[in-house]
Structure 1
Amino acid sequence: MMKKLGLATALLLAMTGAQAYQFEVQGKSEFIDNTVNEQNFTGAVQGTYYFKNVDSTKGPLAEAAFLNQASNFSLAYNYGEYDENGLDIVSHTYGAKAEAYIPTKFVPAYASASYSHTINDSKNALATDDQGDRYALELGALVAPNFLVAVGYTSVADQVSYDAFNILSNGVAKAALESETIADDQDAITARTKYVGAIDGTNMAIGFETGLVYGESTAYALKTDLYLTPALSVGASYAETSADIANDKAWGANVNYFITPAVAVGASYVNANAEGDVRDTQTVGLNAKFRF
């Protein structure tokens, strides 16, 4: 019995201390506090399979897949409950996404394709049930080491169709802001950049991301992360839309820590300010990742 227990413990330590991985499972929950209700919440889970082992020794653990240019396939699910002025809506969003990094004789090329489907289930007569699909394509290149530039096209059959992966990465408030930006236009052009680089002479690194969505309105997003060590990071973000909505801006902060190279926990805060309006919203999120 003791021998079996020791073997199981050794196996667990080997998994949680692994420097390479091929699967990642992550989950996130957000508590939503707006002017009229402080009991709304979301829950999200995502599983990712990488076609080759990802080496987590190249830099910040959080960016191991990006630094390795690791092609992958992901599935995601998001659940949310939202009450506002009598509305009572339960939302389900499902998503699938593939990313590919393709070597060329010039620079590495990048391509992604994703699909999300949202079902909104109204629990009373103040809103109707609805559902919609979303398709997105992106093409880009790593124009310099660890510097990605990509442009894309998004087709949204219904403006309430959220991006399942955006919800998990950036939070439900920013995903809603992006949906309001596309609105009834149904087609949108997107662009984004991403860079991760070491800070010379230190054990630290810095990451930057920018994003643009051009639909019925225009939105942009900025995000930066400071990796104090390969395991610990703090970050800040800002997003704004020209759409005529009360909470047209959102700023956020986050902290993430890898307990081991395979296990991480984190927390986030987003403020989608709409002072004096029922949609004035703040969210607090908790997340965890497990790699193997």
Structure 2
Amino acid sequence: MKKLSLITALLSSCVALNANAYQTEATGAYEYVDMDGGKTNSAAISGKYYFNPVQTRNAPLAEAAFLDKASNIGGGYAYSKLQDDEDFGDLQFNIIGVEGEIFIPDTQFYVSGALHRTNIKATINGLGSESDNGNGYEFEAGFLPVNGLLLAVGVADFSESINPVKVAKYGFVTNVSNAAVVSGDNDDTAVSLRAKYVSEVAGFYTNFEGVTYIGDETSYRLAADLYLDQTLSVGVSFADSTADDSDSIFNIRAQKFFNPQFALGVGYTTTDGADSYGINGTFRF
């Protein structure tokens, strides 16, 4: 009887541990940008498959995969259409890409990579359209000196394409602005430096992120999130560059997991001459 009770307890513990585990994650995002002289509508979808089930544990659900060091492979698609107020024409972006992250087992090392392709179609009403394609890439190598801290260095080429997964995460305006500054007139390959730190401070989990790209000019982005509980977060970010007359980009955002499988997020981004409003949904299974 005692042996049977012990087996039952162990099985119950295993079920409880894996009840909220997930192995696939999908994100859909929409962004509307109101800018001087025009508007932009953007939509993006992205997905990830984790090689092993991700355990949510007693930590922010949004950071579960990072804290679990969950290796994955995935990809995304993004579409954006920029229209001018005078109905002169439009500019359409179709972007597709794949990416992966590997937390090397039994070590503190990390590698990641992404390949993406962008098609840009320019249309002038009454005169016709013209299209062009371009490819881009990103590669990183990182080190995790302590649990929850990642330091990474890499290379990236944004001169002809941007990453659709990052469009889904950070928005179209932020990514295009960054690509234009870093690539410059010389289509430079950029060196990237990135840090991410998730930790508990004064009883609340926090996430701090920073990334800089050093190319034709240097761009940087700083972000912070406060997790009010395991399911709810609010955050801010700031981005700028060393380019002459560069405009700072400010963002505020919030995300709520209504259950371990579904979250809804909203965001507002502003820069000189443009205001962006975004909404996104995350599904896990």
Q: What TM-score do the two structures reach when normalised by structure 1? A: 0.85
Superimposed CA distance per residue, residues 8-47 of structure 1 (whole angstroms, 9 cap, x where no aligned partner): xxxxxx9xx9410000011000011001124x21000011
Structure number, greater radius of gyration: 2
SS at match of 1:144: coil
1:248 shift after superposition: 2.6
Q: 1:181·1:214 contact (CA, 8 Å) conserved in 2? A: no
1:58 shift after superposition: 3.8
Partners of 1:207 and 1:37 lie apart in 2 by: 35
2:42 corresponding residue in structure 1: 42
1:187 shift after superposition: 0.7
2:60 maps to amino acid: P
**In structure 2, which of residues 80, 89, 94 is the aligned counterpart of residue 92 of structure 1?**
94
1:9 corresponding residue in structure 2: none
1:180 corresponding residue in structure 2: 180
Q: 1:118·1:131 contact (CA, 8 Å) conserved in 2? A: yes
1:174 shift after superposition: 1.1
**In structure 2, which of residues 100, 103, 111 is the aligned counterpart of residue 101 of structure 1?**
103
**In structure 2, which of residues 127, 131, 134 is the aligned counterpart of residue 132 of structure 1?**
134
Partners of 1:87 and 1:207 lie apart in 2 by: 42
1:171 corresponding residue in structure 2: 171
**In structure 2, which of residues 123, 140, 143 is the aligned counterpart of residue 141 of structure 1?**
143
2:201 corresponding residue in structure 1: 199
Superimposed CA distance per residue, residues 210-251 of structure 1 (whole angstroms, 9 cap, x where no aligned partner): 000011110011000000001000000000012346x53101
Q: 2:136·2:160 contact (CA, 8 Å) conserved in 1? A: no
SS at match of 2:33: strand
Partners of 2:153 and 2:194 lie apart in 1 by: 6
SS at match of 1:207: strand
SS at match of 1:166: helix
Partners of 1:79 and 1:71 lie apart in 2 by: 27
1:189 corresponding residue in structure 2: 191
Superimposed CA distance per residue, residues 243-279 of structure 1 (whole angstroms, 9 cap, x where no aligned partner): 346x531010000000001100010111122xxxxxx
1:144 shift after superposition: 1.4
What is the RMSD of the two structures over their aligned residues, measured on CA atoms?
1.9
Q: What TM-score do the two structures reach when normalised by structure 2? A: 0.87
Partners of 1:127 and 1:197 lie apart in 2 by: 50
2:271 maps to amino acid: A
Partners of 2:210 and 2:164 lie apart in 1 by: 19
Uncovered stretches (5+) of structure 2, i.e. residues with no partner: 1-14
Q: 1:213·1:220 contact (CA, 8 Å) conserved in 2? A: yes
Partners of 1:78 and 1:243 lie apart in 2 by: 27
Matched, 1:76 2:76: yes
Aligned sequence identity (%): 31
1:265 corresponding residue in structure 2: 264
The residue correspondences of 1:240-255 to structure 2 (distance < 5 A) are 240-244=240-244, 248-255=247-254
1:60 corresponding residue in structure 2: 60
SS at match of 1:145: coil
Partners of 2:58 and 2:108 lie apart in 1 by: 18
1:287 corresponding residue in structure 2: 280
SS at match of 1:174: helix
The residue correspondences of 1:112-131 to structure 2 (distance < 5 A) are 112-124=112-124, 128-131=130-133
Partners of 1:272 and 1:58 lie apart in 2 by: 37
Q: 1:78·1:164 contact (CA, 8 Å) conserved in 2? A: yes
Partners of 2:145 and 2:89 lie apart in 1 by: 47
Uncovered stretches (5+) of structure 1, i.e. residues with no partner: 1-13, 274-279
SS at match of 1:161: coil
